[in-house]
Amino acid sequence: MTILNWYVSIINILIGGEFMNLAKHDEYKNLNMKDYVYNVLKENIMNLSLKPGTPLRKKEIAKEFGVSRTPIREAFVKLKEEGLIDVYPQKGTFVSYIDLDKVQEAKFMREALEIKIVELACDIFPEEKMFDLEANLQIQKVSLKQNNYQKLFEYDNEFHEMLFAGCNMANIWTAIEQLSTHLNRMRMLSLSADFNRSDVIGDHQKIINAIENRDPKKAKKTMESHISRIQFDQEKLKRDYPDYFV
């Protein structure tokens, strides 16, 4: 992301430009219709605009997008493969509930890999990319100030992606994301409920400081604490939003 794009992102946050209409999204406008429908539906599921348990009716969605049911069916196939929708014969198609077993699997993987990546970053993370981390953190702070939890989630994720990319491990982050759909929805719910928002940003600042100081012990300790928040949030969210979980 360029410096200009960061400034544009901040401006969009300040004017409230993050809202995504279900049927229109400029980011996906050049995709074919199947991929457009898939991406828009997935984004709405991931950011909880389509809540767990919401019925998805092909006829209504086709009317919303102004398309035939074919791209809707094709999008449903991909979403089902990713565990984001459930299809029940004779009953219908529904946004899947957040599966806590899958949340735990993703947490286990992230804990193992992200602790290793911050330790490695203290050794090899390029100095010239430290500015990128700092700039990302500033956008997180703007998102927090504006109570924009969706943008906060987006740039939180980007922060972690930058750590892997800076250590030449970008493909590992891609693999993590593919297995983290249920975890990410829980994280989105946590941010929407205002759990630990400022603590998350504080952790990121400590991680930056540890990398700058080439202090792998501090980086490891901070990342362990950062990831451990998932378990704490999970227990509170299960109590407060029981209808979102399997």
- Note the pLDDT of residue 113: 97
Question: Which residues share a beta bridge with 98?
Answer: 245
- Note the pLDDT of residue 65: 85
Backbone phi, psi, residue 94, to 5° = -135, 150
- Note the pLDDT of residue 198: 87
- Note the pLDDT of residue 168: 98
Residues in the chain with pLDDT < 70? 1-26
Domains present along the chain, CATH in parentheses: 18-95 (1.10.10.10), 100-244 (1.20.120.530)
